[in-house]
Structure 1
Amino acid sequence: MNKTKSLPKRNELPDEYKWRLEDIYPSDAEWEKDVEKVKTLTAQLAKMQGTLAQTGKNLLDALTLQDELGKTLDQVFVYARMRRDEDNANSTYQALTDRAMGLSTQVYSAISYIQPEILAIPTERLTELQQQEPGLAHYRFLLEEITRQKPHTLTAAEEAILAQVSDLSAAPSTIFGMLNNADIKFPTITDENGEEVELTKGRYTQFMESKDRRVRKEAFDALYATYGKHRNTIAATLTSAVKRDVFYARVRKYESALQAALFADNIDVSVYDNLIATVHEYLPLMHRYVSLRKKMLGLDELHMYDLYVPMVREVEMEIPYAEAVSTIKEALRPLGDDYGQALEEGFTSGWIDVYENEGKTSGAYSWGAYTTHPYVLMNYQDNVNNMFTLAHEMGHALHSYYSNKTQPYTYADYRIFVAEVASTLNEALLMQHMLQKTTDKQQRMYLINYYLEQFRGTLYRQTMFAEFEKAIHAKVEAGEALTAENLSALYRELTVQYHGPEMVVDSEIDLEWARIPHFYNNFYVYKYATGFSAATALSRQILEQGKPAVDRYLTFLGSGGSDYPLNLLKRAGVDMNSPQPIREALEVFKQLLAEMEQLAGL
């Protein structure tokens, strides 16, 4: 049904392929009732300001009411936004979404006093309150997490000043976003058919996968020539972002910007350093992969614009949605009957919005409210990539399902550091299943190529980004200047180091730092690499150890945010304080690389 030339309207799709948002609210009228409930709860909670330290019961009442308010607000917001996502042209749900966003702002403004007020309670008094009120035992970890921030929390007056400059601190990211998404204009290039086509960031990705090397090179040159014209402006913008990070770290009494960024997840800087050091150990494998790519593409020289074109000739693998569902269920059988039943429920009980329709939000995501089952938005096309995307999003959905089922609302939400583990693990198990099932040599090579690229793009590339971030922050902390020239020199040095002697590192790539928006969200990208490593290591344990590993993993899924990320992962079977999970993941890369070399006869 996804082969029709024009997109169907929402009402033309069969109900079996639509999610069932009626499970959140049977009607918009029921939604309106909860909007009023949110307003009432907000007013009640706002009245409690200034009373939290008086008695244990006051503190418990406030925290309980905050949970009830959050639970209801989430449901209100999720319903409105997901209804709009069905068809963004629907003015009814445009309006509901706007109202939900406005309501959220009012709520957060009214209850923003809670954390500062708890932080202002002396430690001894907070202990007394918890002894007074047994019900506060439920909030022990939450209170511990709030009070852990105390050494890095300033006086009320100083915090008020920092709050007032929050808009200013967002300026580097905002300015870069405007330049990168609105003002920057790319030239036209000649495509495979000899037609003049305007280069865009979206088309650039397609051109980098083109079989026509001239097209790849032309797009590559054009993109970086355009960024080159703005190099000094972007260098100044990125420098401002780094200086902002360093300023906040120093003001809040952290040892470094890196430590400040990792503190929220209670992660030591050694975890970050371990990732970089371990990937360095395995750089010879990356160099081998580059060499293999050069040979398989039959090139005398491998250039940076040759990194994304498939090494294996196109393999037609048409996978209709029903087949994808069947394959995913089969692939995830190692996770046991309980997981399998939950997965079946997800596929058959209105969790998933499958196909594209006119006005529907693009891409894919998993979302939902604590009070209902999770949901998955897809725009399914009949190919391998979409099957893996479906497995990925169902990994997120099942993580939320187990977390919501096991944890109270207070601790159901899991952190970004662990968020990609469940989704990536599903992809790893699906890949292992596909590799075991396929008997066609070309299909097998195609799948291995796909998996090798995930390792290159997620584990190696994101770690290189993480190393670059660490270096530029260290320069500013040492009082050194950042310029377009030294940013490019540093980026080039890392690119050469990571790709090895068989890669011709074109001078244009020195400017790649100038187009990466993640660098404005400091020390974030390393989580992609650690999450991928943890998931790969866990999937290997599940396949090798069976039930003990599965039991640990399902406990992890049900743990939500009830403990710090590293503690949760350690109980699941991966100690991210150690380089071992990263090594285990890279050993999988090593095996895949060896098999591809053998299959290619190289």
Structure 2
Amino acid sequence: MSKGNLPTRREIDDQFKWRLEDIYPGDEAWEQDYRKALDLAARVESFKGKLGTSARTLLEAFQLQEQLEAVNEKIYTYARMRRDEDNTNPVYQALTDRSESLSAQVQAAVSFYVPEILAVPDETIKQFLQEEPGLGLYRFVLEELVRQKPHILSAEEEQIIARAEEVTQASANIFRMINNADLTFAPVQDEQGREVELTHGRYLKFMESRDRRVRRDAFISLYGSYRRLQNTLAATLGASVKKDVFYARVRKHPSALKASLFADNVSKEVYDNLISMVRGSLEPFYRYMRLRKKLLGLDELHMYDIYNPVVQDVDWKILYPEGVNMVREGLAPLGDAYVETMVQGINGGWVDVYENKGKTSGAYSWGPYGTHPYVLLNYQDNLNNVFTLAHEMGHAMHTYYSFETQPYVYAHYKIFTAEVASTVNESLLMQYLLQTVKDRDKKIYLLNHYLEQFRGTVYRQTMFAEFEKIIHERVEAGEALTPELLCRIYHGLNVDYYGPEMVVDSEVDMEWARIPHFYTAFYVYKYATGFSAATALTRRITEEGGSAVARYIEFLHKGGSDYPLNLLKSAGVDMTIPQPVQECLDVFARLVAELEDLAL
């Protein structure tokens, strides 16, 4: 981790920046597409009232919608990613605002499609499919519309909802600006006593410090800043939850949770079973906390003691080029074509590597249809960030294969399957490292890291999922999400999940205030289900070899051409039954025992 203040965007070497010029060579080209999108949106109006008149008209309407949405996606993605480079840049703040307004206009322009198509008799739609071969591409789209029919409103009402989108996204946008642009933290003295700026990107590095004082100071600094804004942040999160409840009720869903699951055609039992199964397997997690406490030689285990390695004499600094090499070697089981494409992308402008002033925190993979995928990182020289690279390149390769094979209408896969692709990469990388690293302490370090993946992806995300379920149910029951209530709920969940060995510090009660995923309702459970599915797929890839790899690569090519659970079944994993989640929890228990045998 570099010391002192963060570099500016200009101070970062170009070789470590993504190449957004592959989307638009400059802002003027963006402006041209912006005008084009407005023209296309105006053309859509000519189809209003005519979608059921002929097969040819319906096909042309679908094709125009695709063209409009593809250019709108390109406009929005470019503006947002430019802003993510530096959230304080007023030029791209403005472009992002304009692109969000355009997106609302686009959604409003096409909002009559669904209710108008649903008004066409089923027999007429069948006849259209027979008359016009080109409509065959949209068969799954039309079948999905029939499934959604009970929750689709009139054309006028759908247009109102579409126009409201820009307003209803305000809570998420406000949180993003508070979190990435306005919020600052008290500086922290590092292990040498030097004052260092605390940032989102550096926080985890501090939490991995061997010096407990550094960990505690960073922990207190971070959550102290959120505590000072607790009323604002509670109001912001509360508004987001109310938005979810509003949309669920307007669309006649029994709850916000069921409304969210409906989009993926997933039953509520899958969500509830995840929570109940994880809660039923907490004893191995408590055992892990006891082991962590013992290995660290602590009288008390605090929330700031759960990220630092349990092997105190391992200093494993991994520079970015070395991390790239690790990922390349670890993913070799996926085949030469996969690895070569991935490495070419890493070296060819897909990845934005290092943190700079104003850059959006965290990591993600994104990119508009018709271009290659992109990855945002805030790379720090540690093992965790190597796994982040592998994770995000899993998303990127999923996008690459999907864009390569699927037409626009099916190119964008659901989050439910996205987290499988990213976690398979992490699992394969971990297997490679556990097999190749001979040093006992480094192997203990890896086992600890692997257990932390389970903790962060299965146990922690399931706890998040339960928190989301609770707060939405509270709002649906008419309660207000005050800071006190949010902190009390969050504290209780931490006590339940971490068990008797953990001192649940009051600072962590504010953690709900810094989780951006809470502004995308019921997103996080998919990390836990995805991790479970990925565990099963990884085992098949390593045990079966070529046939399993072929099924998996084919799964990546399928994008969003079917429901997520069906796509996973085609890859060899059935998430409608408890087995994959239980297998995942069993692996965790075995890893805890392995770490005990090796470390004690």
Q: Specify the TM-score bucket, using the shorter chain as the normaliser.
A: 0.7 to 0.9
Q: Measured at CA, do residues 407 and 209 of structure 1 come closer, stay the same or move farther in structure 2, by a change above 3 Å?
A: same
Deviation at 1:140, TM superposition (A): 0.9
Q: Which moved more, 1:322-331 or 1:181-190?
A: 181-190
Residues 24-78 of structure 1, C-alpha deviation per residue, up to 9 Å, x if partnerless?
5678887777566545544433322222111111010111122233334444555
- The alignment partner of 1:47 has SS state of helix
Q: Measured at CA, do residues 580 and 70 of structure 1 come closer, stay the same or move farther in structure 2, by a change above 3 Å?
A: same
Say whether the 8 Å CA contact 1:210–1:309 is kept in structure 2. Answer: yes
Q: Measured at CA, do residues 99 and 235 of structure 1 come closer, stay the same or move farther in structure 2, by a change above 3 Å?
A: closer
Please give the residue correspondences for 1:52-63 in structure 2 after superposition, counting only pairs within 5 Å: 52-63=51-62
Q: Which residue of 1 aligns with 2:312?
A: 313
Say whether the 8 Å CA contact 1:10–1:358 is kept in structure 2. Answer: no
* Structure 2 CA distance for aligned equivalents of residues 5 and 582 of structure 1: 43
Q: Measured at CA, do residues 500 and 155 of structure 1 come closer, stay the same or move farther in structure 2, by a change above 3 Å?
A: same
The AA in structure 2 aligned to 1:118 is I
Deviation at 1:457, TM superposition (A): 1.4
Residues 362-381 of structure 1, C-alpha deviation per residue, up to 9 Å, x if partnerless?
76443333323334455655
Say whether the 8 Å CA contact 1:274–1:578 is kept in structure 2. Answer: no
Q: Which residue of 1 aligns with 2:539?
A: 540
Residues 279-327 of structure 1, C-alpha deviation per residue, up to 9 Å, x if partnerless?
1232111101100111011011212232233322253334444433333
Q: Which moved more, 1:117-126 or 1:348-357?
A: 348-357
- The alignment partner of 1:250 has SS state of helix
Q: Which residue of 2 aligns with 1:585?
A: 584
Q: Which residue of 2 aligns with 1:573?
A: 572
Q: Measured at CA, do residues 495 and 381 of structure 1 come closer, stay the same or move farther in structure 2, by a change above 3 Å?
A: closer
Deviation at 1:599, TM superposition (A): 2.0
Deviation at 1:256, TM superposition (A): 2.2
Q: Which residue of 2 aligns with 1:505?
A: 504
Residues 162-199 of structure 1, C-alpha deviation per residue, up to 9 Å, x if partnerless?
55665665566567667767887877777656678887
The AA in structure 1 aligned to 2:539 is R
* Structure 1 CA distance for aligned equivalents of residues 466 and 478 of structure 2: 19
* Structure 2 CA distance for aligned equivalents of residues 179 and 22 of structure 1: 28
Say whether the 8 Å CA contact 2:355–2:378 is kept in structure 1. Answer: yes
Say whether the 8 Å CA contact 1:391–1:423 is kept in structure 2. Answer: yes
Deviation at 1:461, TM superposition (A): 0.9
* Structure 1 CA distance for aligned equivalents of residues 95 and 509 of structure 2: 46
Say whether the 8 Å CA contact 2:33–2:75 is kept in structure 1. Answer: yes
| 1:127 has 2:122 as partner | no
Q: Measured at CA, do residues 66 and 460 of structure 1 come closer, stay the same or move farther in structure 2, by a change above 3 Å?
A: same
Q: Measured at CA, do residues 75 and 255 of structure 1 come closer, stay the same or move farther in structure 2, by a change above 3 Å?
A: closer
The two structures have a TM-score, normalised by structure 2, of 0.85
Say whether the 8 Å CA contact 1:334–1:546 is kept in structure 2. Answer: yes
* Structure 1 CA distance for aligned equivalents of residues 598 and 525 of structure 2: 32
- The alignment partner of 2:47 has SS state of coil
Q: Which moved more, 1:261-270 or 1:351-360?
A: 351-360
Q: Which residue of 2 aligns with 1:324?
A: 323
Q: Measured at CA, do residues 247 and 21 of structure 1 come closer, stay the same or move farther in structure 2, by a change above 3 Å?
A: closer
5+ residue gaps, structure 1: none
Q: Measured at CA, do residues 181 and 38 of structure 1 come closer, stay the same or move farther in structure 2, by a change above 3 Å?
A: closer
Deviation at 1:456, TM superposition (A): 0.9
* Structure 2 CA distance for aligned equivalents of residues 360 and 241 of structure 1: 24
Q: Measured at CA, do residues 141 and 457 of structure 1 come closer, stay the same or move farther in structure 2, by a change above 3 Å?
A: same
- The alignment partner of 1:271 has SS state of helix
- The alignment partner of 2:445 has SS state of helix
Q: Which moved more, 1:298-307 or 1:156-165?
A: 156-165
| 1:464 has 2:463 as partner | yes
Please give the residue correspondences for 1:329-408 in structure 2 after superposition, counting only pairs within 5 Å: 329-347=328-346, 349-352=348-351, 364-378=363-377, 382-408=381-407
* Structure 1 CA distance for aligned equivalents of residues 170 and 68 of structure 2: 32
* Structure 2 CA distance for aligned equivalents of residues 317 and 582 of structure 1: 32
The AA in structure 2 aligned to 1:414 is Y
Q: Which moved more, 1:128-137 or 1:542-551?
A: 128-137
* Structure 1 CA distance for aligned equivalents of residues 107 and 142 of structure 2: 19
Q: Which residue of 2 aligns with 1:555?
A: 554
Residues 127-174 of structure 1, C-alpha deviation per residue, up to 9 Å, x if partnerless?
343343232111011122233222112344554565566566556656
* Structure 1 CA distance for aligned equivalents of residues 358 and 486 of structure 2: 41
Q: Which moved more, 1:564-573 or 1:189-198?
A: 189-198
Deviation at 1:115, TM superposition (A): 3.0
Say whether the 8 Å CA contact 1:189–1:198 is kept in structure 2. Answer: yes
Q: Which residue of 1 aligns with 2:252?
A: 253
Q: Which moved more, 1:140-149 or 1:369-378?
A: 369-378
Deviation at 1:260, TM superposition (A): 1.2
Q: Which residue of 1 aligns with 2:598?
A: 599
The AA in structure 1 aligned to 2:439 is D
* Structure 1 CA distance for aligned equivalents of residues 322 and 512 of structure 2: 41
The AA in structure 2 aligned to 1:285 is P
Q: Which moved more, 1:328-337 or 1:157-166?
A: 157-166
Say whether the 8 Å CA contact 1:415–1:561 is kept in structure 2. Answer: yes
Q: Which residue of 2 aligns with 1:455?
A: 454
Q: Measured at CA, do residues 244 and 190 of structure 1 come closer, stay the same or move farther in structure 2, by a change above 3 Å?
A: same
| 1:66 has 2:82 as partner | no
* Structure 2 CA distance for aligned equivalents of residues 561 and 424 of structure 1: 18
The AA in structure 1 aligned to 2:339 is G
* Structure 2 CA distance for aligned equivalents of residues 511 and 363 of structure 1: 19
**Across the two proteins, how many residue pairs are aligned to each other?**
600
Q: Which moved more, 1:358-367 or 1:332-341?
A: 358-367
The two structures have a TM-score, normalised by structure 1, of 0.84
Deviation at 1:345, TM superposition (A): 3.9
Bigger radius of gyration among the two: 1
Deviation at 1:436, TM superposition (A): 0.8
Q: Measured at CA, do residues 7 and 60 of structure 1 come closer, stay the same or move farther in structure 2, by a change above 3 Å?
A: same
Q: Which residue of 2 aligns with 1:425?
A: 424
* Structure 2 CA distance for aligned equivalents of residues 361 and 177 of structure 1: 9
- The alignment partner of 1:70 has SS state of helix
* Structure 2 CA distance for aligned equivalents of residues 246 and 597 of structure 1: 46
Q: Measured at CA, do residues 165 and 404 of structure 1 come closer, stay the same or move farther in structure 2, by a change above 3 Å?
A: closer
Residues 381-437 of structure 1, C-alpha deviation per residue, up to 9 Å, x if partnerless?
554334323322221221112112221221111112222221221111111111111
* Structure 2 CA distance for aligned equivalents of residues 464 and 121 of structure 1: 44
* Structure 2 CA distance for aligned equivalents of residues 190 and 360 of structure 1: 23
- The alignment partner of 2:120 has SS state of coil
Say whether the 8 Å CA contact 1:275–1:582 is kept in structure 2. Answer: yes
Please give the residue correspondences for 1:76-475 in structure 2 after superposition, counting only pairs within 5 Å: 78=77, 104=103, 107-156=106-155, 158-159=157-158, 162=161, 169=168, 205-217=204-216, 220=219, 238=237, 241-313=240-312, 315-347=314-346, 349-352=348-351, 364-378=363-377, 382-475=381-474
Q: Which moved more, 1:116-125 or 1:347-356?
A: 347-356
Q: CA RMSD, aligned part only?
A: 4.1
